[in-house]
Amino acid sequence: MELQGANDGIRLAAYRANLPAPVANGKATSGGFESDYYTCDGDGSSVASRVSVDLTGYETLDAPPRYDFYANTEVWGRRRQFRPSLFQLHAGPERPAGFTQCCICSQIRCMLNIWGVILYLRLPWITAQAGIGMTWVIILLSSTITGITGLSTSAIATNGKVKGGGTYFLISRSLGPELGGSIGLIFAFANAVAVAMHTVGFAETVTDLMRENGAVMVDRTNDIRIIGIITVTCLLGISMAGMAWESKAQVLFFIVIMVSFASYIVGTIIPASPEKQSKGFFSYKANIFAANFVPDYRGPGGSFFGMFSIFFPSATGILAGANISGDLKNPAVAIPRGTLLAIFWTTVSYLIISATIGSCVVRDASGVLNDTLSPSSAVEDCVGTACQYGWDFTGCINNKTCVYGIHNYYQSMSLVSAFGPLITAGIFGATLSSALACLVSAPKVFQCLCKDQLYPLIGFFGKSYGKNNEPIRGYLLTYIIAACFILIAELNTIAPIISNFFLCSYALINFSCFHASITNSPGWRPSFRFYSKWLSLLGAICSVVIMFLLTWWAALIAFGVVFILLAYTLYKKPDVNWGSSVQASSYNMALSRCAGLNSVEDHVKNYRPQCLVLTGPPSSRPALVDLVSCFTKDLSLMLCGNVLTAMSDSHLNWLNKRKAGSFYRGVVAADLQSGVNVLLQGAGLGRVKPNVLIMGFKKDWRSDTPQAAHNYIGVIPSMVSFKFYKTRCLFAASVSIEPEPQHSTQFQKKQGKKTIDVYWLSDDGGPSTSPLVACFMS
């Protein structure tokens, strides 16, 4: 995660004393004063450091000492500096401006995105299928996954500055571009499809109202498509108008939903009229609760996980606040509190609605007022719970032609409500608000991904417009994707598609938190402490398992897309450095492996030529670098040594671009021999240290100075004198050591089958390392 930038002031709560109005060392401002190094509000409420910004680019609490702070006298023409006291610095941080508004805004946005089409149109039907008991299990299981993900999100969001990009920004800056980029694409696509799901729910309600009043355009399916396309076009216009209009619309939707909830709760208490009884509503009855408590799965998708896959999208709005992190005044505070409060209250609302609708409405009803139980009818022949209350729906139950009851009528909440149109208004508010939130979230996530330029051909959609950097092109792309899925016009088909993509996102968010925690990186210091790395790991595992239990082929597709994008990013190696936990993990693993080698004794079977190559500037002798790369081949150590008079990091960049698989070590020394002595003693780490010294062949014997020749020859006895080299071998290659740039060498070309000459050193115990080097090169 990125540290807080210079433009985002770290505000310190100051001692609330009556500060003097005239400040000798600072210029007066309206309601406060301002100095060259600190800014203080008029009421002494905050002090911000400036000097550290000038020096480091970041605002910190540890500013370098300044002479002016300690000067007792005032120099003419210079204002004496003012610095806060220790009491002011140690005071507790003040709640930033907009704290309450930020939290409420994030909470409302999350709640509106969670309360969607499933709440009004599918939760009663899921209760009929799974029963009240198993529906509670589905709700609590979904809330457990989203709750753990909310804790992980809160930890990541409070570990530094959160910019625009929401979920993609959180994952990419934690796990790196490899997984962050892939999940950014998946999450943006899932939000675009969610726009279609909520819009279809809205269109379905409008279509049902039209059919009840005898208004039909074509047929039910095509009516849903027509209304859905018109609706998403209107939402696109609201989104492109800017966040101000969108936020006002969200507040209006929230009020409508709360009023519809109140109307529903009041309606469950009011005694049922004969007309409502004919449609299956009898108010609170213990027998109805008992009958609806157990499952009654029907249809091809009638199973626990089938119902879970349809319900889970209704719990996936928890990242709505994080997705607009760039528009929040204080996202590090607003995201945790708003997200967790939204999860809690929406879970409570789901549990209440499931229990109340299951206690008041039977599963099957005909809606015919004449289907009462006559005195002459035998009660034993009557089928269904309604028989106990004087109604006989046996005919439609046996013929499976019932059109009412929570098993058959998706608008059951309107039936129960004290005033049905309020529930319809609530459906409109929930579906439109969720669709609007997803329509805003998807382009902003995709815009951040495009600006990072991790993948080709998507930079076109990263362009910003206006002072708020609105992703107009992203809005249009989201609109096209949503319109394509609206043409499906079937809510139960779209919902399972979204579930797998959101579960994949949640799995990676939880894994990001877990991975950042176990690396023990100094950069992982979230201010949100109420999380557990093992709980995050459990959430990641549960998300993956549930993905395969829901729809195994969709899970394979989701992971296939992730792995393809991951492979592409690993191949391209984008030039970004975000300080991810993957980098910290790589360091930890390398350090532990090197330390583990200390307890392993050397053996001839595991011998590898670990080469210290005296290349000088590697870019000036690429032939020597390429030659040694031919037999190290990333399987053994290669260390390019350079004796120089000033340090530089450009040589390592050159080696990385050439893919030589080499380290670089430069030392500052007066001459070649003393510099090589330093390299021979200090190069390497533990047992990973050079055992072969390689140097180029000197060709300028005649023109060079005698001292230079002496230093060159002196390298050999210097090497021999260091007894820690178990294999003391000098490999003199016929490669010029003159610093002449060589852009391409013969060692980079494919040579085909040729002969490698091995010279037998009969006076030195045999063929030494030459056959082994020849084996490596072949």
pLDDT at 482: 93
| 723-769 tens-digit pLDDT | 544 444 454 444 444 444 545 565 666 666 767 666 665 555 445 55
The pLDDT of 135-162, averaged and rounded, is: 87
Q: Give, for 651, the enclosing helix (H) or strand (E).
A: helix 650-658
| 207-228 tens-digit pLDDT | 988 888 888 888 888 999 999 9
Cα–Cα dist 254/532, whole Å:
33
Supply the mean pLDDT for the chain. Answer: 76
How many other β-carbons are positioned within 10 Å of the β-carbon of residue 697? 12
The pLDDT of 444-463, averaged and rounded, is: 84
Q: Rounded to 5 degrees, what are φ and ψ at 131?
A: 85, 160
| 71-123 tens-digit pLDDT | 555 555 556 556 666 666 666 555 444 444 556 767 777 888 788 778 888 89
Task: Say if CB 110 and CB 338 are below 8 A apart.
Answer: yes
In residues, how long is the chain?
Answer: 778
- The residue type at 295: P
Cα–Cα dist 43/342, whole Å:
35
pLDDT at 653: 72
Which has the higher per-residue pLDDT, 327 or 766? 327
Tell me the CB-side half-sphere exposure of residue 35, using CA atoms within 13 A.
22
C-alpha torsion angle, residues 172, 531, 307, 195 (rounded to 10): -40
> Could you tell me the pTM of the whole model?
0.70
Q: How confident is the model at residue 293 (pLDDT cuts 50, 70, 90)?
A: very high
Q: Give, for 28, the enclosing helix (H) or strand (E).
A: strand 27-29
Q: Give, for 32, the enclosing helix (H) or strand (E).
A: strand 32-34
Give the three-state DSSP class for 759: coil
**Packing angle between helix 286-293 and helix 331-360, nearest 10 degrees?**
110
Q: How confident is the model at residue 602 (pLDDT cuts 50, 70, 90)?
A: confident
Which has the higher per-residue pLDDT, 763 or 312? 312
How many other β-carbons are positioned within 10 Å of the β-carbon of residue 245? 13
Q: How far is CA 470 from CA 163, 300, 398, 439, 775, in A?
A: 14, 44, 57, 12, 60
| 221-270 tens-digit pLDDT | 899 999 999 999 998 888 877 666 666 777 888 888 899 999 999 999 99
Cα–Cα dist 285/274, whole Å:
16
Q: Is the pLDDT of residue 402 over 80?
A: yes
Q: Is the pLDDT of residue 7 over 50?
A: no
Domains of the chain, start order = 12-90 (no CATH), 112-361+404-570 (1.20.1740.10), 366-401 (no CATH), 608-777 (3.40.50)
Pure H helices in 273-329: 274-278, 286-293, 304-311, 320-323
For residue 281, the 8-state DSSP code is B
180-208 burial: b if 16+ Cβ within 10 Å, else e? bbbbbbbbbbbbbbbbbbbbbbbbbbbbb
DSSP assignment of 81-146: P----HHHHHSPPPPPTTHHHHHHHHHHHHHHHHSSHHHHHTHHHHHHHHHHHHHHHHHHHHHHHH
pLDDT at 316: 78
Q: How confident is the model at residue 172 (pLDDT cuts 50, 70, 90)?
A: confident
pLDDT at 99: 42
Cα–Cα dist 687/677, whole Å:
19
| 336-389 tens-digit pLDDT | 888 888 899 999 999 999 999 999 999 988 888 888 877 766 667 788 888 888
Q: Is the pLDDT of residue 3 over 50?
A: no
For residue 44, the 8-state DSSP code is S
Residue 708: closest CA among 667, 750, 675, 748: 675
Range of weakest confidence among 66-70, 320-324, 327-331: 66-70
The pLDDT of 2-16, averaged and rounded, is: 39
